[in-house]
């Protein structure tokens, strides 16, 4: 008997769920179902002592310093490191008394349930309008790449949580330089842009008071030594960051042309994924899966398919041939 109980909400990045159905072994898939950089940062060999000892205060200070510089975090704002932004998504709603939260939707499916579990009433809205006590925006949005201007977000008078999981490819869109005020919490994902999602590293950028409360909930040594070590290296590597942004932009243009030639209409994108629409979306998804290519389908939007980027020429050729 398998004792592992799967998460009930759908996510990309797990071909094991369709291996048996399509007869493709785990190492035979071209997984385009996530928005993770397919060319990851090369963190090199993890030193033995990093694996052996607990992370030190200095280790964490080095990571926070690197994040502050890379993300443009002002001095008055605090930074909380966590084992992935998912941990923060689940913790942040518990910081506030139960009330109403407006979530700009459709968006990443974990936000709403996290606020509901903390006792809040969730109202799904198409855009930030009338100010509510709490509001949440994913910017740029997942899965459609929709963007909100920094100025429009700053006009919100209630407490605002901005999930910037994909903003590394659109840095001018980030509200992070305005962080530090009591009513703003910014979530930053490390793993997507750097292609190291398995490290589980994320950040909350917020006021010092909010940071203290989050750190108390996370407890000591919440982030592993290897994640701190690799994250510090990657965030300090300005050349790699710049070159990766250029490559991702070029690859996204290439992907768009391939998808359009196949009759898939682009309806949203970032430089880490492209959302398409087609009346034949289900059939195309099945056809790709039979060829060992996994893309992201949506039960609530059956005409949508989201494509991540192939990581090498073999992957590009395989996708084009299958389509």
Residue 141 confidence (pLDDT) = 97
Return the closest-CA partner of residue 296 out of 5, 9, 7: 9
Predicted pLDDT at 128 = 87
The answer to whether the CB of 246 falls within 8 A of the CB of 80 is no
Q: Is residue 12 pLDDT above 70, yes or no?
A: no
Return residue ranges of the chain for CATH 3.90.1150.10: 15-40+239-322
Task: Out of 1-15, 43-57, 201-215, 290-304, pick the least confident.
Answer: 1-15
* Phi/psi of residue 36, nearest 5 degrees: -95, 135
Residue 87 is predicted with a pLDDT of 97
> According to CATH, what is the number of the domain 48-237?
3.40.640.10
Mean pLDDT, the chain, rounded, equals 92
CATH number of 15-40+239-322: 3.90.1150.10
Going by pLDDT thresholds of 50, 70 and 90, the confidence category of residue 118 is: very high
Q: What is the pLDDT of residues 132-177, one digit of tens each?
A: 789 999 999 999 999 999 999 999 989 999 999 999 999 999 999 9
Distance from C-alpha of 44 to C-alpha of 229, rounded to nearest angstrom = 10
Percent of the chain exceeding pLDDT 70 equals: 91
| Parts of the chain belonging to CATH 3.40.640.10 | 48-237
Q: Band the pLDDT of 297: cuts 50, 70, 90.
A: very high
């Amino acid at each position: 008997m398998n004792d592992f109980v799967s998460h009930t909400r759908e996510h990309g990045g797990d071909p094991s769920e369709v291996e048996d159905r399509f007869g493709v072994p785990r190492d035979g898939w071209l997984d385009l179902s996530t928005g993770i950089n397919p060319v990851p940062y090369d963190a090199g060999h993890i030193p033995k002592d990093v694996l052996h000892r607990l992370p030190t205060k200095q280790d964490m200070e080095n990571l926070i310093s690197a994040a502050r510089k890379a993300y443009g975090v002002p001095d008055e704002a605090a930074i909380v490191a966590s084992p992935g932004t998912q941990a923060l998504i689940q913790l942040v709603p518990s910081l506030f008394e139960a009330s109403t939260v407006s979530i700009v939707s459709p968006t990443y499916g974990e936000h709403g349930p996290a606020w509901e579990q903390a006792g809040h009433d969730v109202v799904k809205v198409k855009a930030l309008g009338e100010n509510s006590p709490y509001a949440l925006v994913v910017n740029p949005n997942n899965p459609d790449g929709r963007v909100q201007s920094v100025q429009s977000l700053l006009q919100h008078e209630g407490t605002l949580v901005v999930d910037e999981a994909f903003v590394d490819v659109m840095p001018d869109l980030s509200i992070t330089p305005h962080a530090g005020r009591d009513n703003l919490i910014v979530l930053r994902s490390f793993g997507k842009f750097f292609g190291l999602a398995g490290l589980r590293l994320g950040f909350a950028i917020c006021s010092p008071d909010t940071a203290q409360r989050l750190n108390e909930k996370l407890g000591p040594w919440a982030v592993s030594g290897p994640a701190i070590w690799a994250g510090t290296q990657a965030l300090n590597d300005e050349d790699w960051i710049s070159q990766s942004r250029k490559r991702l932009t070029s690859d996204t243009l290439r992907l768009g042309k391939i998808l359009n030639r196949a009759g898939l209409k682009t309806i949203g994108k970032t430089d880490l994924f492209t959302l398409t629409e087609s009346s034949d979306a289900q059939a195309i998804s099945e056809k790709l899966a039979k060829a060992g290519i996994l893309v992201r389908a949506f039960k609530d939007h059956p005409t949508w398919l989201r494509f991540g980027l192939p990581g090498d020429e073999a992957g590009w050729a395989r996708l084009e041939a299958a389509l």
